[in-house]
Structure 1
Amino acid sequence: MKVDIGGRKPIVDIEDGIENTTSGPAVVFNVNPDSAARAGFGVDDLGVVATAIMEGEPAIQPVIINERPYTLRVRYPAANRTSLEAMSNTMLVNSNGSTSTLGSLTAIAEAPGQTEVLRENLQRDANVTARLEGIDLGTGIAAVQKTVADLKLPPAIRVEYGGAYQEQQRSFRDLVTVLVLAVVLIFLVLLFEFRAFSAPIAILSSAVLSTSGVFFALLITRTEFNVSSFMGLIMVVGIVAKNGILLLDANQKYRAAGMPVEDAMIQAGRRRLRPIVMTALAAVAGMLPLALALGAGSQMLQPLAIAVIGGILISMVLSLIITPAIQYYLTRS
């Protein structure tokens, strides 16, 4: 399977799930107990030698570096495992000083590789793996899904996407739940504060519409929408709700003073314009170094900062237009 995007091939190191499940070839050492005993070697001794030739034998004591233990493996030189003949000619010395070759004590043979068949729930399972290069996860997965769809696979074959994509989708589902809970909790808090449904509806309408600034900021900065930016979107909903509280609280005071509905709303907007703008600009200024990826590790949270800045900037307009308009429409009678 080859994936092509704009003349480039960003999906690299593709493993088909069949060849990488082939084990072997294997080298088999069959010890002759009688020959080993006459030469002064035990069967376990020859097993240690075989392990030391092929993959190395762990040392008894680890090496301590910076108060951390590291296990060493003692391994024969590469020349001793280049071929079966080289292994057979490996010279061994017993505790008495007598010497023998490994081939005189064991029969060394090479077993062909065996294809491992993986099954899950009695169904054949083949894991196709790859790596993305110079492309984001969403675009890469979309290209892979299109390529797989073009293969016209039979209905008996089921394709599931795992790895980083599966973890991302699970995180998105969890964050959607968090977003819904955040909106519900904000609505309940506003309902207890204003003791009416009009104010929570007006404030949350502006907060939800302010999330459009999140996507606009990510679009113009060419930043992908990931888990970090999703967290920024949730933060925007809570931050923007604060602007609506300031505005409608002032509106209630002017209404209580006997002002008409329209005049009270206009006066509240004039009164709260400066606090809303100043707090929004202060939040943007605080997020700006993170959005510019200044400092070590800031790239991880850069999408969050960009999302928050975009949502806050557009909320300055929406909080002073959408929230008063909806509140006036719901309470004009």
Structure 2
Amino acid sequence: FSRIGTSEVATDPMGVNVSDTYIMLKDKKDWPKDSGKEKSYETLVEEMLARLELEVPGQNYLASQPIQMRFNELLEGTRADVAIKVFGNKLEENLEVAEKIQEIVSKLPGSGDVELDLAGTSPVLRIEPLAEGMSRYGTSTSEVLEAVSIAMGGEEVGHIFEEEKRFPLLIKLAEEERGNLDVIRNIPVLLTNGVTVPLQKLAKVGFEETFGSITRENGARRAAVLVNLRGRDTESWVVEAKAKIAKELKLPEGSYIEWGGNFKNLEEARNRLLVLTPIALILVFFMVYAAFGNLLETGLIFLCIPFAWVGGILNLYFHDLTFSISAGVGFIALSGIAVLNGVVLIGFFNSSMSEGKSGLEMIKEAASSRLRPVVMTALVAIFGFLPMMLSSGLGAEVQKPLATVVTGGVFTSTFLTLFLLPMLFSFIEKSVSKSNFKVSHH
């Protein structure tokens, strides 16, 4: 189904010249095969847009998810994943620069939909009251504009009743006459003495080429190039696009470019993670140290984190997923699980040493006895996140990166914790036995 015309609510940023068409897809198993292979969403979108451009040319098409598009509009004022905003005082220059940027970025790999947010000029009816004419006939600007308002927009002059129904009676020019310049110029304007004068004697009437809408942001005029990506991550595309634009485009004096859309939100969230993640890891480090009282053991436990991250990164690579904020949250959760496994194993080593055991036999016995708890912890996490990792329905783009990181990381972390950590502990066993540590029972 489609929606066209004015928006349903005043807070909806959609203009009256934009229509939304919602397409409900069938189950993916019912889709026709593409050369014997399953058709991807990207291929389907490309085929749909190609068919639309062939049968309904002259329109700008932008394919997106409805909720994602609305969030982009509300947060950034644009309807796309990446918005390249051009600011300047002259609209003509902004439009010219935006068209050049559109030409440059449309050639980059991964560019799906590339369109301009600022439409070109169009003929607009301009009625400019003339001071000399109004002074001669003794009328005012308000009287001239009132006559134009009634003729073009209409005015309610009464009602027609039909049984219990009431219908407003409007007076205005006919539809075909409202586009006739000669008729508009001869609209009668009523003077105070009851005489009418043609509009052309009181105002300058004509069509002129101008912009239908002027978009401003932070008080500055702007145009924008809207880009939806397909088959490529946002960050690498933006890095390449920035280099390409800087090399091939020279901005006019007073103009500048800003990058918005999902890329801006990704950068802000990533910068926050770069601050919060080290703080969280430092706090965990001090908590582990408070429990064991030994820097060597604490450092050994924290070695489980890079073990886990290796698996998370490899799993993202094998599933052809890029780093996102969801994946970043997954790495933080994965770090906690990895530290927990290390705490369980090192704590049991300390318990065995407190009973007078030592050497490789003690390490082998402790590792064997902790095999089941560590593996069970890993399996619970893997089986819990596996449905999210394999999901393909609504919300999968958020769940999948997080689950992929956790499942891959827990697998490698468990393997390396059970085999590599005991080997490393054997090198520091003597140092640990001589120091004063706190015994933890698990």
TM-score range, shorter chain: 0.7 to 0.9
Deviation, structure 1 residue 235: 0.8
Q: Residue type of the partner of 1:134? A: R
Q: Deviations over 1:281-329 (max 9, x none)?
A: 1111111111112554233221111111111111111212343333332
Judge conservation of contact 1:250–1:268 (CA < 8 Å) in 2: yes
Residues 34, 198 of structure 1: CA spacing in aligned structure 2 closer, same or farther, 3 A cutoff?
same
Is residue 308–residue 413 contact of structure 2 (8 Å, CA) maintained in 1? yes
Q: Flag structure 2 segments of 5+ consecutive residues without an equivalent.
A: 1-102, 156-171, 191-195, 432-442
1:320 aligned residue (400, 404, 418) = 418
CA distance in 2, matches of 1:147, 1:232: 33
Q: Give the TM-score normalised by the residue count of structure 1.
A: 0.72
**SS state at 1:332 partner:** helix
Of residues 385, 394, 407, the one that matches 1:309 is: 407
Measure the CA separation in 1 of the matches of 2:256 and 2:204.
46
Measured in 2, the distance between the counterparts of 1:22 and 1:198 equals 67
Is 2:215 the partner of 1:113?
A: no
Superposed counterparts of 1:226-237, under 5 Å: 226-237=324-335
Is the Cα–Cα contact under 8 Å of residues 151 and 187 in structure 2 kept in the other structure? no
1:134 maps to 230
Whether contact under 8 Å (1:255, 1:261) holds in the other structure is no
Matches within 5 A, 1:220-231: 220-231=318-329
Q: Could you say if the C-alpha distance between residues 147 and 91 of structure 1 is closer, same or farther in structure 2, counting changes exceeding 3 Å?
A: same
**Hey, what does 1:61 align to over in structure 2?**
none
1:281 aligns to 2:383 (yes or no): no
* Identity, % of aligned positions: 21
Amino acid at match of 2:115: D
**CA separation in 2, counterparts of 1:259 and 1:128?**
71
Whether 1:176 and 2:278 are equivalent positions in the alignment is: no
For 1:176, give the aligned amino acid: L
Shift of 1:126: 6.4
The yes-or-no answer on 1:270 pairing with 2:270 is no
Q: Judging changes above 3 Å, is the alpha-carbon distance between structure 1 residues 116 and 295 closer, same or farther for their aligned structure 2 residues?
A: closer
Instruction: Tell me the CA shift for residue 76 of structure 1.
Output: 8.7
Q: Structure 1: which 4+ aligned runs deviate by more than 6 Å?
A: 21-24, 32-38, 75-78, 89-93, 99-105, 114-121
User: What amino acid is the match of 2:104?
Assistant: K
Question: 1: CA distance between counterparts of 2:286 and 2:413?
Answer: 21
In 2, Cα distance between equivalents of 1:152 and 1:44 = 45
Looking at structure 2, the residues matched to 293 and 140 of structure 1 have their Cα atoms a distance apart, in angstroms, of: 26
Aligned amino acid, residue 201 of structure 1: G
Give the superposition deviation at 1:172.
Answer: 0.8
Aligned residue number for residue 350 of structure 2: 252
Alpha-carbon distance in structure 1 between the residues aligned to 2:173 and 2:424? 80
- The equivalent of 2:241 in structure 1 is 144
Q: Could you tell me which amino acid in structure 1 is paired with residue 377 of structure 2?
A: T
Match of 1:162 among 248, 251, 260: 260
3-state DSSP class of the match of 2:357? Answer: coil
- CA displacement at 1:149 relative to structure 2: 4.6
1:71-117 Cα deviation digits (max 9, x unpaired): xxxx9986455453465577999xxxxx9987787643334437989
| Residues 217-273 of structure 1 deviation map (CA, whole Å, 9 limit, x = unaligned) | 110000111111111011100111110111011111100000014333222211111
Instruction: Name 1:2's counterpart in structure 2.
Output: 104
Please report the RMSD computed on the Cα atoms of aligned residues, expressed in angstroms. Answer: 4.2
Normalising by structure 2, we get a TM-score of 0.56
Q: Kindly provide the CA deviation profile for residues 126-167 of structure 1, in whole angstroms up to 9, marking residues without a partner as x.
A: 65523124233134223313422542759x887653332222
